[in-house]
Amino acid sequence: MAIEFKPSPSLPPPVNSVGAVAWVRQNLLSSPLNVFLTLFSFYILYLLIPPIIEWGIVGATFTGASKADCTGDGACWAFIGVYFKQFMYGLYPSEETWRINLALILLVILLGTYAVKTVNKLYLSLVILVVYPVIAYFLFAGGVFGLEIVETSLWGGLFLTTLLGVVGIVASFPLGVLLALGRQSKMPIAKSVCIVFIETIRAVPLITILFMASVMIPLFLPEGMNFNKLLRVLIGITLFSAAYMAEVIRGGLQAIPKGQYEAADAMGLTYWQSMILVILPQALKLVIPGIVNTFIGLFKDTTLVYIVGMFDLLGRIQAATHDANWLGMTIEGYAFAGFIYWAACFGMSRYSMRIERKLETGHKRN
């Protein structure tokens, strides 16, 4: 009679390989070099953190109306408080800023609606991408329903930064996808157009594009015909970022095995069906880190609009540090700007990691 094969039972791992003690041993104290690096890092933190807390919190002044109120030897956050509205809204008339807040609240509510299960996601997306921008534009610019007209030259601060960033991101993404597909296309003309566009835009600094958009284009346009500078700058930023986006997405498209294209073709899917249903969902998921990288870069690049005389968050802060009544507030101003940009970019990064985890469907085998 044959011997019956019985797999041996699985045993739990040894105690010293799990838990907090094991973590410290493995990660902080695993070798003499590691012990040294751990101690050295703690020493650096000891040197840096107490002075920062001393300057920024313990010795800092938080309230006040003028520089004279800042009597402590730490930071003078009163400066931020006094200028806060300008940092947020630029020169937007203060009795009208509720319009910006309303648009923001509306957006938050619409985005929150995604969590409601009974809502049709496709219609909701259409509302957010088509209807909402129109509403937001009229809220910001005014001129209808008795809303006072606010010139775009008055738009500024974090409001302008967010506007440039969000519009740039939302518009450059689909454009980048199209450019990437175009560059992969078998049609020679579409392919050449995409290659020339991508390579030209990538070879030029953003400052040049912004300068072209704001100064050069009006020179070439016939007299009397002109369109808004903010719009020109938005188009410039979008095209710039789309070129980078296209190359990131192309990387994703190339990483998809040929078999996936063939399986989609063999089923009789059309080109657009196979791209939208099979290839892009996989390719975009692969390059989420690269896409978010481009988004974050774009968001920070919007600070360059100061070169064409627009005052975004950083522009407003710089202008405020030149106020004769508040001289010497540069560090506070830049620390504040740094914090806002960091919070926004860190938020994007964490959000993208969440999406990546959500889209994880087990390791790929083909």
Partner 1 sequence: MTNTNMARAQLAQGEEAIIEFNDVNKWYGDFHVLKNINFSIKKGERIVVCGPSGSGKSTMTRCINRLEEHQKGTILVDGVEMNDNLKNIEAIRKDVGMVFQHFNLFPHLSILENLTLAPIWVRKMPKKQAEEMAMHYLERVKIANQALKYPGQLSGGQQQRVAIARGLCMQPRIMLFDEPTSALDPEMIKEVLDVMVQLAEEGMTMVCVTHEMGFAKTVADRVVFMDAGEIVEANEPHEFFDNPQHDRTQMFLSQILNH
**Given the rule CB under 8 A, which residues bind partner 1?**
257, 259-260, 262-270, 273, 277-278, 281-282, 285, 359, 361-366
Buried/exposed code over 194-204 (b: 16+ C-beta within 10 A; e: otherwise) = beebbeebeee
Least distance in Å: CB of 253 to partner 1? 14
Nearer to partner 1, 43 or 271 (CB): 271
Least distance in Å: CB of 176 to partner 1? 20
Least distance in Å: CB of 266 to partner 1? 4
Buried/exposed code over 14-25 (b: 16+ C-beta within 10 A; e: otherwise) = eeeeeeeeeeee
Angle, helix 78-89 to helix 330-358, in steps of 10 degrees: 60
Nearer to partner 1, 110 or 263 (CB): 263
Nearer to partner 1, 257 or 347 (CB): 257
Tokens of 348: 């994007």
Closest of 221, 222, 289 to residue 255, by C-alpha: 289
What is the rounded distance in angstroms from the CA atom of residue 54 to the CA atom of residue 47?
Answer: 12
Tokens of 29: 């104290």
What is the rounded distance in angstroms from the CA atom of residue 147 to the CA atom of residue 198?
Answer: 41
Nearer to partner 1, 51 or 188 (CB): 188
Closest of 188, 146, 179, 152 to residue 167, by C-alpha: 152
Least distance in Å: CB of 208 to partner 1? 39
Least distance in Å: CB of 290 to partner 1? 18
Least distance in Å: CB of 277 to partner 1? 6
Nearer to partner 1, 259 or 328 (CB): 259
| Cα-based distances in Å from 205 to 209, 212, 308 | 7, 11, 14
Nearer to partner 1, 117 or 203 (CB): 117
